[in-house]
Amino acid sequence: MNSMKYNRKLQLGALLGVVILMSVGCKKMTDEYNAVGDPMLQKNLFEVISQNQSLSTFSKYLVETGLDKVLVSSKSYTVFAPSNESLILLDASIKGNPAKLKQFIANHISEELVSYSSSTPKKRIMMLNGKFNSIAPFSIESAVSSQANQYASNGILHTINMSVNALENCWEFIAGNAAAPLKQRNFLQSLFRNVFDPTNATVVGINPITGDPIYQKGTDSVYANMFLRNVHDLRDESKQFTVFVLADGGWDAEQAAYAKYFATGTADSTAFATAWNIVRDFAVDTLYTPAGLPDTVVSKFGAKLPINKSSIVASIKTSNGYVYVMSTLPVAPVLRFTTRVIEAEKYAASSTDRRSVTYFRDRYNDLSKKFFTDVLVLNHGVAMFNLRYDQAEIPAIKYKAYWVAVNDFQTATFTQKLGVGSPDALLLPYVNVAANVKGEIYLGEFSLTRYSPVLSFYLTAANSTANAANPLVCDYIKLVPSL
């Protein structure tokens, strides 16, 4: 019995402790408008809103959209409620469309608790509709709080002086807005296709030779857009992007200017390759507002886009960035075709399995004053042994080739070559690798007459089985456009 009394005292003490902590927490959250004893703290958010006559229009829309039921739940929310006056001019296309109205109202509710003060950090918060809005002290987007930090039993209410529209994201604007130029839009929408993706595939067996899984037919692919998958997913509301869309005339001009660099066997495939290599540079995952748009924007693939602000036809703010419609956006080849550096230790395959005599060396180059990792294959016993490197999106241009290959493991000079397209290609000759040369070595110049979506390069050993004559060593291979 004494033990039971003791346990009850402990439980009561713990309960009182929780009550005290909650009271202290509430006190910290409140301001002069809300004392801890404010009766509003006994009401849920919808009750607080519905009893505020200045928010009656917003309250009505909450009921119409069913979001009133959300605000009576036990979960916590922050509501940014536009005043009646700010909703008078709400577009009829939103008021008359239940889906759009719900999207609009949900753009004023967040599951993240935001208590305003002069030190509220500037950041983006996710709203119930999945979009993000930017907050700063006593503001959300362009709306300012006219009455802040009204606390309810399940969250915080801020009254704001204007509504916050649920904007299209970058992809929604490009893919479906009539203000987006047609030709670039059509090309981007043509990039949907089935692509290999085993993430949710059903495994039905194992390949006895390779050990790779065998997937049930039809489960190992997804219908995806090449641009959204391989460049930037412009639907992602949590990120911010800057996207350039060319007016039809500007799109045609860039196509014409670059077609020779992406020549293939047919006119259709040339047009596709040209358009793809142009458009993939037209989006970056950095937000540039009209006031902060620089003179040069660097794409994911290294292209330097010169931004002439006088060519901007329209600047469209989206829920996850800005889209700039440009009359023209000419990019000189020297700004688009960048130097490629191939790290030699990151090869895709070897001509023969010689992993037992392949070494990855961490070194220091006292000439460049840099640490590096290279690959060394010794005593492999294979004539013309080679390592393969695959490079994507190789245009039909001229390149100068270099490498750093440090022979510090034997005194004898040996030869190796860079094979372009095949291990024994004749575009570049064999080059001597003398002992202890630590600088870049010029290998020669080669021209490509056709575009390659993927082109293989080969670090190829001498045509000899003698160990001293056929080592392979390389830190990196550099391909410099010669334009």
Domain assignment present for residue 458? The answer is yes
Tokens (6 digits) for 463:
């045509």
Close Cβ partners of 87 (under 8 Å, ≥ 6 residues apart): 57, 58, 61, 163
Mean pLDDT for the stretch of residues 59-87: 97
Pairing verdict, β 139-140 and 370-377: unpaired
Q: What's residue 212's pLDDT?
A: 80
At 8 the pLDDT is 42
The widest CA-to-CA distance across the chain, in whole angstroms, is 97
**pLDDT on residue 2:** 47
Tell me which H or E stretch contains 104.
helix 98-106
- Same domain membership, residue 315 and residue 180: yes
Residue 165 within any structural domain of the chain: no
Model pLDDT, residue 5: 40
Average pLDDT of 60-72?
98
Cα(119)–Cα(115) distance, integer angstroms: 10
Buried/exposed code over 303-337 (b: 16+ C-beta within 10 A; e: otherwise)? bbbebeeebbeeebebbbbbbbbbeebebeeebbb
pLDDT value, residue 164: 97
pLDDT at 23 over 70: no
Kindly state the helix (H) or strand (E) to which residue 85 belongs, with its residue range.
helix 84-87
Q: Does residue 120 carry a pLDDT above 70?
A: yes
Question: 416-447, pLDDT tens digit by residue?
Answer: 999 999 999 999 999 999 999 999 999 999 99
472: enclosing H helix or E strand: strand 472-474
In terms of DSSP H, where are the helices of 161-230?
170-176, 182-189, 226-230
Angle at 128 between CA 43 and CA 71, to 5 degrees: 15
User: Where among 284, 314, 336 does a domain terminate?
Assistant: 336
User: Does residue 22 surpass a pLDDT of 70?
Assistant: no
Q: Are residues 2 and 14 in the same domain?
A: yes
Q: Residues 6 or more apart from 123 whose CB is under 8 A from it? A: 134, 135
Same domain, 473 and 428: yes
Both tokens of 389, joined, read: 């490197």
Judge whether 448 lies within some domain: yes
The total number of structural domains that make up the chain: 4
Q: Does 184 share its domain with 328?
A: yes
Q: Is residue 364 part of a domain?
A: yes
Answer whether 481's CB lies under 8 Å from 334's CB: yes
CATH code for the domain in which residue 461 is found:
2.60.120.260
Q: Which of 336, 357, 385 is the last residue of a domain?
A: 336
Does 44 have pLDDT greater than 60?
Answer: yes
Query: What pLDDT, on the 0 to 100 scale, is given for residue 221?
Result: 62
Radius of gyration of the chain (CA): 32
In a domain, 435, yes or no: yes
From the CB of residue 289, how many other CB atoms can be counted at a distance below 10 Å? 11
DSSP code of residue 226: H
Closest CA to 393 of 276, 306, 239, 251: 276
CATH number at residue 83: 2.30.180.10
Contact 446, 418 (CB under 8 A): no
Indicate the residue among 160, 184, 203 that finishes a domain. 160
User: Does 3 reside within a domain?
Assistant: yes
Q: Where are the beta strands (DSSP E) in 2-152?
A: 77-82, 109-110, 123-126, 132-136, 139-140, 143-152
402, two tokens: 């270099």
H or E element in which residue 45 lies: helix 45-50
Q: Which residue has the higher pLDDT, 18 or 153?
A: 153
The verdict on 308 and 175 lying in the same domain is yes
3-state secondary structure of 97: coil
Residues 354, 235 share a domain? no
pTM for this predicted structure: 0.84
Question: What's the rounded mean pLDDT across residues 473-477?
Answer: 98
Vertex 42: Cα angle to 38 and 47 (nearest 5): 105
Same domain, 352 and 329: no
Class of residue 227 by CB neighbours under 10 A (exposed 0-12, middle 13-18, buried 19+)? buried
In this structure, the answer to whether residues 246 and 325 fall within a common structural domain is yes
Please say if the pLDDT value at position 14 is more than 80. Answer: no
Read off the amino acid at residue 374.
D
The residue type found at 59 is S
Q: Which of helix, strand or coil describes residue 60? A: helix
Q: Which two tokens stand for residue 390?
A: 């695959």
pLDDT in tens, 231-273: 999 999 999 999 999 999 999 999 999 999 999 999 999 999 9
Q: Would 386 be classed as within a structural domain? A: yes
pLDDT of residue 219: 66
171 and 228 Cβ atoms separated by less than 8 Å: yes
Do 138 and 244 lie in one domain? The reply is no
- Strands 358-365 and 349-350, by their bridges, are unpaired
Quickly tell me which residue has 């590096």 as its tokens. 372
Please state, in angstroms and rounded to a whole number, the distance separating the CA atoms of residues 165 and 162: 9
Please compute the mean of the pLDDT values over residues 162-169 and round it to a whole number: 96
pLDDT at 57: 98
Residue 462's closest CA among 473, 477, 448, 454? 473
pLDDT at 220: 61
Tell whether 23 and 39 lie within a shared domain: no
What is the token pair recorded at 333?
Answer: 């080849």
* AA letter at 379: N
Q: What is the mean pLDDT of the chain?
A: 91
342 backbone dihedrals φ, ψ, rounded to 5°:
-105, 115
Residue 9 has pLDDT above 60, yes or no: no
Most confident range (mean pLDDT) of 16-25, 38-47, 63-72 is 63-72
Taking the C-alpha atoms of residue 193 and residue 172, their distance in angstroms, rounded to an integer, is 19
The amino acid that residue 296 corresponds to is: T
Asked whether residue 181 falls in the same domain as residue 326, the answer is: yes
106 with 51, same domain: the answer is: yes
Q: Who wins on pLDDT, 7 or 458?
A: 458
CA atoms within 13 A on the CB side of 420: 24
pLDDT digits (tens, 9 = 90+) for 173-227: 999 999 999 999 999 999 998 776 777 767 767 887 777 887 777 666 667 999 9
Is 427 inside a domain boundary? yes
Tens-place pLDDT, residues 283-337? 999 999 999 999 999 999 999 999 999 999 999 999 999 999 999 999 999 999 9
Domain region containing 322? 170-336
Q: How far apart (Å, rounded) are the C-alpha atoms in residues 481 and 334? A: 8
CATH number of the domain that residue 196 is part of = 2.30.180
